[in-house]
Amino acid sequence: MTTLSPTMATDSTIARPRAASQLLHWLALGGVLLLAAWLHFYRLDQEGYANQYYAAAVKSMLISPHNFFFVSFDPAGFVSVDKPPLGLWIQAVSAMVFGFSGWSILFPQALAGVLSVALVYWLARRVFGPLAGLIAALVLAITPISIAANRNNTMDSTLVFTLLLAAWAVSLAAERGQLRWLLLCALLVGIGFNIKMLQAFLVLPAFYAVYFLAPPIAWWKRILHLAAATIVLAVVSLSWTVVVDLTPPDQRPFVGSSHDNTVMELIVGHNGAARLFSFRRGGTPPTNNAPPSGQPPLNGQPGQFNPPPNGQPPLNGQPGQFNPPPNGQPPLNGQPGQFNPPPNGQIGQPPVGGQLPGGPGGQGAPRGGLANETGERGVFRLFNEQLSGQASWLLPLAALGMIAIAFSTPLRWPLRREHGALILWGLWLITQAVFFSVAGLFHRYYLEMMSPAIAVLVGAGVVAMWNWYKHGGLRSWVLPFAFLCTAAVEVFILAYFPEWAVWIAPVVIGLTLIAVAGLMVGKLVADSGAKLWLGFLAASGLIALLIAPAVWSLTPVLSQGDAGLPFAGPELLTRRGANTAPQSSPLVEYLLAHRSGEEFLLATLNANSAAPIILATGEPVMAMGGFSGGDQILTADQLAQKVEDGDVRFFLIPMDRQSDLTRWVTEQCAAVPSTEWASTPGGGFPGAGGPGGPGGPTQLYDCGT
């Protein structure tokens, strides 16, 4: 009979709890990833085509390699979208594999979101341990704006995943001092640039700093390595730009949203300086009435743009006639005075002058609208009504976590992995927070860029504070203090939403106070057996702080998200959903029946009006002014020549927006009676913004008679 020695018995006794602990950890990670997959993919098809501007571009890109390479918005290659190609290329490849549909173009973003959760787990675990990785993954999985943006065909989730891969590469480079990993990081950031241009460069201060300060190599080598990486970054970032700008303009689409038909100007202007310095091109100071996305004001009059909530059209298309339903309730059967939203959240004609009811973002104005989407610049901008619910719930915990990480291990040179990671994630978060606090033009879904840093700092910070708590001393009070501060900020955010705060706030406050009180009492308990229940209290405190963001992250899943400008929040649940898949309409049927060999089925002023028709027919539709209608692509004489050459015959023109092109059409062409083509009084058609389409009341003109 074999007997176990005392040493063997002790080893066996220790191994069993460790194995059980590891099993529990992997089960928890599997649960987090399943939660992330559910939040990203459940009812994904309810989003339809989501942002029809990008969806139409993908459909056009599938028609020819020329359209694919130049990311043409329309099948004829008239104008391109205002973004670089890679994100849309990925969507187009998905559509090639699965067939063109709303689901197939949303799939890459949702997949990237789930993969980002797994990657954040790995990045946090490799430095701060498995518990930190698990908490970081859970935080990212329930970050509201990440769920909202990743269920859309905006490209932010693809960019974030690419930059997380770059963070992994620069981490290895900083730890080992090896150039090849730094060059891989530069390559990945350059790829990110070709997804969303300068937005990818917001992580560069963190990447440069960590490699300059952390690697175990000589200073002169660090500088040379960074110089080499900068060259790689520039070459990869500008590769597509140079090819497009060197292509003769008559052999490619006009570069949408640019002033001079070059991608370089698009980078520096519309997607560069304009984002930082103003809501409009030209550096005009922002106002509460500034139009979104650099669109011109109504009728060209300063201060006359004031869109109704959620980008919805005014009542009957009349300026100033928008009457929102009380308390953000959905409309009732389109009755007079009731709110009647168009499909896809397309922009209707805004009312003129004055504030929305209750002021910008105030009571009476649903917070999901275009009006004052991001609030005023300032130190506390991330905690305002518009932005706070998207990604700011755990910012105090992340900030205190940075302090805990910094002082948890002694500082030495070369830097420890923990301090190198702190530089990486801390500067990632600080750079983003500063930018979003001062930038003039961005959308709420851009805040997804902050979410990985918040997640890692919360995960690593909570673990560091828990270790302080267990070891006693003054530092042990940091964890309960952090819980209290974060709970107070969450209650402050919830106060913007009183109908939700009435039941969420007491839960958050109650559970947090119980956890904090228990942790404080636990400091008086000396026996080691108290650690288990103290750990349970600490976990309860963290869970309490995750309740509010988890509820917010559910809103775009349980109801159709905002198609054009994704966001998360209770107001999504009060809006009437709409089928975002364009369908046939009397207008489309009329155009197809009366077409006589023209290259373009129709010409419209902007891409918002053209996109639904492209999606419904697959036929070329000319967006004469690009995305917003303000691009100087054609002169009136050039448009006249296109009509004379038989390239285009029909024009769908907004009746209350004038330009040289629209004036030429209204003066030279015959108006088609609305009874022959319109599905609603006043013009318009389903799938193009409701009555009047995205630009308000419209009129169809026939230039072939």
Contacts of 410 (CB under 8 A, 6+ apart): none
The conformation of residue 619, written as its DSSP 8-state character, comes to: -
CA distance 309 to 322: 9
DSSP state string for 635-654 = -HHHHHHHHHTTS--EEEEE
Say if CB 32 and CB 141 are below 8 A apart: yes
What span, in angstroms and rounded, lies between the C-alpha atoms of 139 and 401? 14
Q: How far apart (Å, rounded) are the C-alpha atoms in residues 258 and 81?
A: 10
CA gap 646, 634 in Å, rounded? 16
Q: Where are the alpha helices (DSSP H) in 247-380?
A: 263-268, 274-277
> Do 440 and 219 meet the contact criterion of CB atoms below 8 Å apart?
no
Instruction: Tell me the C-alpha distance between 95 and 657, whole Å.
Output: 36
Which pLDDT value is given to residue 349? 32
Within 10 angstroms of residue 19's Cβ, the number of other Cβ atoms is 10
pLDDT of amino acid 302:
35
Q: What SS3 class is residue 93?
A: helix
Give the pLDDT of residue 559.
Answer: 87
pLDDT at 132: 96
What 3 state SS string does 488-509 have? HHHHHHHCCCHHHHHHHHHHHH
Name the residue among 699, 630, 660 with its Cα closest to residue 292. 630
Measured CA to CA in angstroms, residue 607 lies from 104, 201, 380, 384, 624 at distances of 22, 28, 35, 32, 8
- Which is nearest to 199 in space by CA: 362, 479, 547, 435? 435
3-state secondary structure of 257: coil
Angle at 88 between CA 86 and CA 93, to 5 degrees: 95
Q: What is the DSSP string of 182-208?
A: HHHHHHHHHHHHHHHGGGGGGGHHHHH
346 within 8 A of 564, measured Cβ to Cβ: yes
Q: Which amino acid is at 504?
A: I
Give the orientation angle of helix 102-128 with respect to helix 86-98, to 10 degrees. 120
The runs of H, that is alpha helices, within 308-393 are 388-391
Cβ-contact 108, 91 below 8 angstroms: yes
What pLDDT, on the 0 to 100 scale, is given for residue 278? 61
557, amino acid identity: V
Closest by CA position to 609, among listed 594, 592, 587: 587
For 115, phi and psi rounded to 5 degrees?
Answer: -65, -35
Q: How far is CA 267 from CA 151, 183, 242, 319, in A?
A: 26, 23, 12, 35
**C-alpha to C-alpha distances, 108 to 118, 137, 390, 659, nearest whole angstrom:** 15, 19, 22, 39
Phi, psi angle pair for 162, to nearest 5°: -65, -40
**Alpha helix (H) residue ranges in 129-178:** 130-141, 144-150, 156-176
| H or E segment to which residue 621 belongs | strand 621-623
Measured between alpha carbons, how far is 604 from 82 in angstroms, rounded to an integer?
Answer: 18
d(CA 62, CA 104): 13
Rounded to whole angstroms, the Cα distance separating 687 from 510 reads 47
10-residue averages of pLDDT along the chain (705 residues): 49 61 89 97 93 96 97 97 96 97 96 98 96 97 96 96 98 95 98 96 97 93 97 98 96 95 91 66 35 36 37 37 38 36 34 30 38 83 94 96 90 86 97 93 93 97 93 86 96 95 94 92 64 86 96 92 87 69 79 93 94 95 93 94 95 85 93 85 44 62 88
- 147-173 burial, b at 16+ Cβ within 10 Å, e below that, comes to bbbbbbbbbbbbbbbbbbbbbbbbbbb
